[in-house]
């Protein structure tokens, strides 16, 4: 059986470690040294609260058309390598067979999956595979364009685009081309 870790002791150790890190980087403001560690831990607890539950709300509706569904939404995340923000746009397309998913569900799924320290490549694939698994669809396409501050703050660059294509988007060039014709103009607008 594992050693018992008192949550209060663990919390106090995290506060102390953050405070020591701030001191190491020459932060001398006493208010910052006393309160920033608590603010940071509170932010991380709130930010990652969605991780306590899997996203399972895939309420779909019977479809009455044969149209590609394309949606765009914003995201914010933290780079798991540097714990610095990255943010941008997500473009999702899918080809419904017998049902369509409410647009708000696509947004909630996307925001849920980005609410953790992550890398953009993994979340892009996770969105696509989650939708393929939970929707009655002939294909899913996901493109994510993000500005990574861990890169931009050091090199004045940092825009990264990732894509994941499944089903007809992977095997049917016409479906892929149609999706890209919708999202490419919006992708090109996202610049820094």
pLDDT value at position 9? 79
150 close to 86: Cβ distance less than 8 angstroms: yes
Range of the domain at 152: 60-189
All residues at 6 or more sequence positions from 163 whose CB lies less than 8 Å from its CB, including other chains: 124, 141, 142, 143, 144
64 and 43 within one domain: no
Residue 52 lies in a domain: no
Pairing of strands 137-148, 117-118: unpaired
146 close to 118: Cβ distance less than 8 angstroms: no
41 and 72 within one domain: no
pLDDT value at position 5? 61
Please name the residue that has the structure tokens 């060039």. 173
Q: Lowest-confidence range among 60-64, 88-92, 150-154?
A: 60-64
Work out how many domains the chain is built from and give that number. Answer: 2
Residue 150 lies in a domain: yes
Whole-prediction pTM = 0.88
Mean of all residue pLDDT scores within the chain? 91
* pLDDT classification of 59: cutoffs 50, 70, 90: confident
Does residue 181 carry a pLDDT above 70?
yes
87 and 30 within one domain: no
Q: Which CATH number characterizes residue 178's domain?
A: 3.30.1130.10
Residue 106 lies in a domain: yes
All residues at 6 or more sequence positions from 158 whose CB lies less than 8 Å from its CB, including other chains: 86, 147, 148, 149, 150, 151, 152, 192
What is the total residue count of the chain? 192
């Amino acid at each position: 059986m594992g050693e018992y870790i008192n949550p209060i002791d663990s919390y106090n150790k995290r506060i102390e470690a953050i405070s020591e890190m701030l001191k190491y980087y020459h932060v001398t403001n006493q208010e910052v040294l006393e309160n920033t560690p608590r603010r940071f831990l509170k932010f991380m607890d709130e930010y990652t609260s969605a991780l306590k539950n899997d996203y399972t709300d895939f309420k779909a509706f019977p479809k009455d058309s044969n149209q590609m569904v394309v949606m765009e939404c914003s995201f914010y995340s933290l780079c798991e390598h540097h714990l610095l923000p990255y943010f941008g746009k997500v473009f999702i397309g899918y080809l419904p067979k017998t049902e369509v998913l409410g647009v708000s569900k696509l947004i909630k799924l996307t925001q849920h999956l980005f609410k953790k320290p992550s890398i953009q490549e993994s979340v892009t694939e996770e969105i696509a595979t989650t939708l393929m698994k939970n929707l009655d669809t002939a294909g899913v396409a996901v493109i994510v364009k993000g500005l990574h501050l861990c890169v931009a703050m050091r090199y004045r660059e940092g825009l990264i685009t990732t894509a994941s294509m499944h089903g007809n988007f992977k095997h049917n060039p016409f479906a892929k081309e149609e999706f890209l014709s919708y999202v490419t103009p919006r992708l090109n607008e996202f610049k820094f």
